[in-house]
Amino acid sequence: MYEERKEFAIEHIRGIDKDYFLSKVAKAYFAILGDGRGGVFCEDSLEDPSNWKVATQSKIHLDSFSIVLTNPPFGAKIPVTGEAKLQQYELGYKWKLDKKSNQWKKDKLSKKEAPQILFIERCIKLLRDNGRMAIVLPDGIFGNAKLGYIRKFIAKHCRIVAIIDIPIESFMPNTQTKTSVLFVQKTKNIPSDYPIFMCVAENCGHDRRGNENGVDDISSISTQFRKWKEDNNFNW
């Protein structure tokens, strides 16, 4: 069993992070578990893949992953800049809503963009057809009227499977950003109408200072999701 897990990690698990220290920690963790550290790379994941180091390019390819899990960096204070980088992305452009047609239309290239927006597109592009993704996003992505073009982009390329509202304490005391977790499946066969699993977790197991309080709604969500899948005859 150990050898099988080791082989699976070596052959299939990949990680990428711009932070040198975090990538080293991930490598060390894989080494403790068995292996797979050779699949972890220190790289700017928003960069054009052709600019990645040769070793990274040999292991990480667009349209190839069955599962992507990510908690990208948030915030307008850490914008992504550079024409060469931004023009890779549909979401690197400004979008305007045509009030007559009620359709979003692509405009000129942005001078800068918040990283979480570009991460949505990059992660979707990393997925193979029918691949699945879970991504932590600030709540503005889901409700800000000016960001409707982002929701349209997601809905165009993916089936939205679930949206889980998690409490503001989840990432405290490190950050106070209110977030939700989006689950999608990349597919070309998106139904015109389909159910979406949605839930709100009010407690995450710790308070705003990070002290454990023994009340955790998040841990029970998987049970509720499995029931929802059965009730809706949904497989992914």
Express each pLDDT in 215-235 by its tens digit: 899 989 999 999 999 999 998
Q: Do 108 and 219 fall within a single domain? A: yes
- Of 17, 42, 61, the residue that ends a domain is 61
Is residue 17 in some structural domain? Answer: yes
- Half-sphere CA count of 185, side-chain side, radius 13 A: 14
Domain extent for 190: 62-231
Q: Do 113 and 143 fall within a single domain? A: yes
Q: What total number of domains does the chain contain?
A: 2
Q: Do 4 and 51 fall within a single domain? A: yes
pLDDT digits 0-9 by tens, 46-83? 999 999 999 999 999 999 999 999 999 988 789 999 99
Is residue 236 in some structural domain? Answer: no
The pTM is what? 0.92
Q: Do 128 and 207 fall within a single domain? A: yes
Q: Do 34 and 91 fall within a single domain? A: no
